[in-house]
Amino acid sequence: MYDLHVHIIGHDTIQRDYSAYIDSYMLQAELLGLEALGFVDHYPYRVKNVQKIREKVEYLKDHADIPVFYGAEIHVPSNTVIPKYFDYSLAHVRQRYSLEEAFTMARQKNIDIIAHPCAYGASCSPCQLEQFKDENICLELSEKALVYLPQWLYEEAQRRHIPLTLGSDAHFPQNMGFPQICERDLAWTSLDEIPFLEGRL
């Protein structure tokens, strides 16, 4: 088990040293026995000074016992250009955009994961995923938004071999873990089969 969606800054806009939270996340990852941890920040950032966060994540990438990554979560559609220092990116699809539009926007912006599919107002009528099966775009199994994930979408993704990545979308370390995903008996893509992690483990 791994987690590719834990927030360092979250929805805060207060200026403070958010890098202090990173250690608690690492400890929680160890307690949960995670194989890898992906820190994610909303980009563009909602606070000004992120230098300490970036330094600490960079340090952990070299020194932690498990692979550590740094991802950007961006709203789509948007004109945001994602900086190169991010290891991967997640699309937070705006309200009323369909799953087909989500895949198309992810393709255009080179985004790796469609975060919490069908959640938070994104539209979710049944569609054929066949056309997106070779795009290396993953769908997220989001612990926090699992209630929005229709079973047909999960099964369709499985059938088309569209990678399914794990993300808690935790904004605090105590919100990590995947009790509901385990309860629903969902299968996720193993780390070594996630396209954008190839050669990085």
Quick one: which of 68, 105, 112, 70 has its CA closest to 90?
Answer: 112
Neighbours of 23 (CB within 10 A): 12
**Nearer to Zn ion among residue 156 and residue 169 (C-beta):** 169
**Nearer to Zn ion among residue 51 and residue 95 (C-beta):** 95
**Nearer to Zn ion among residue 73 and residue 87 (C-beta):** 73
**Nearer to Zn ion among residue 12 and residue 155 (C-beta):** 12
**Nearer to Zn ion among residue 10 and residue 160 (C-beta):** 10
CB 117, min distance to Zn ion, A? 11
CB 168, min distance to Zn ion, A? 9
Nearest position to Zn ion, beta carbon = 92
Task: For 163-191, give the secondary structure using H, E and C.
Answer: CEEEECCECCHHHCCCHHHHHCCCCCCCH
Instruction: Work out whether strand 138-142 and strand 164-167 pair parallel, antiparallel, or are unpaired.
Output: parallel
Encoding tokens for residue 132? 């997106």
What 134-137 contacts at long range (C-beta under 8 Å, 24+ apart), as own/partner pairs, is: 135/103, 135/106, 135/107, 136/112, 136/163, 136/195, 136/196, 137/103, 137/106, 137/107, 137/111, 137/112, 137/113, 137/162
CB 115, min distance to Zn ion, A? 5
CB 122, min distance to Zn ion, A? 10
Name the residues that contact Zn ion, by CB under 5 A: 73, 92, 115, 169
CB 104, min distance to Zn ion, A? 19
Strand ranges for 58-118 from DSSP E: 68-76, 88-93, 113-114
**Nearer to Zn ion among residue 61 and residue 144 (C-beta):** 144
CB 130, min distance to Zn ion, A? 26
Q: Which residues share a beta bridge with 128?
A: none
